[in-house]
Amino acid sequence: MQDQIKALFTQSIQTQIATAEVLGDAIVNAAELLTQSVLSGRRVFACGEGQASVVTQEFAHLMLHGQKLERPPFPVIGLPCVGSSDGACDTYARHILALGQAQDVLLVASTDATAAQVSKAMEAALSRGMLIVALTGDSDTDVAGLLGPDDVEIRIPSYEPNRISEQLLFVVHSLCDLIEQQVFPQEVSE
């Protein structure tokens, strides 16, 4: 069993190293887009599918309550998904259609190859003129195809959902750190 535990740590570390090597620019671009949104009074909506829904709820929580600073809340809405009677979940899309405005940002996350709920939310966001930050993995086949030239994709270099989830959580914490540093540079001590 000790060898299995060491193998899991090794897989996680290797994924983190690969992520750090290829995603620095994408993380900076996403942080800048989200910071511009916050500073211009635009809202950020966050939703995820499967394991990734926990990651987007963590992002919304940190943006509302602060990660390192006691500060005013940022206008971020973590979207809940409550299935409809036919089993399909279009709640994310319905929230976006009801509340989303041009230049708002939709942050989506998915660890799986297909993400029907997130894809519907992205289509709704596109219809409203919103920008998108997508947190994905290498197995993604739905989300990446909906992104435009002004959107940002942070694609974790892994096909393993658990390794992707671990890195997405790290990315979300990094984004919140970077946003707080940009909005309140005088408050953040290095």
Is residue 129 domain-resident?
yes
Model confidence at 19, pLDDT cuts 50, 70, 90, reads: confident
Is residue 190 domain-resident?
no
Domain extent for 11 = 2-183
Helix, coil or strand: residue 38: helix
Angle of helix 161-183 versus helix 52-65 axis, rounded to 10:
20
CATH number of the domain at 140, please.
Answer: 3.40.50.10490
Q: What is the pLDDT of residue 72?
A: 92
Distance, in Å, from the CA atom of 12 to the CA atom of 24, rounded to the nearest integer, reads 18
Distance, in Å, from the CA atom of 122 to the CA atom of 117, rounded to the nearest integer, reads 9
CB under 8 Å to 169, separation ≥6 — which residues? Answer: 54, 55, 58
Is residue 173 domain-resident?
yes
- Beta bridge pairs of residue 110: 49
pLDDT one-digit tens code per residue, 71-125: 999 999 999 866 544 445 788 999 999 999 999 999 999 988 778 899 999 999 9
Share of the chain above pLDDT 90, in %: 65
Is residue 121 domain-resident?
yes
pLDDT one-digit tens code per residue, 119-153: 999 999 999 999 999 999 998 878 888 999 999 99
Q: What is the mean pLDDT of the chain?
A: 90
Q: Which two tokens stand for residue 59?
A: 């992002």
Is residue 29 domain-resident?
yes
Q: Domain tally for the chain?
A: 1
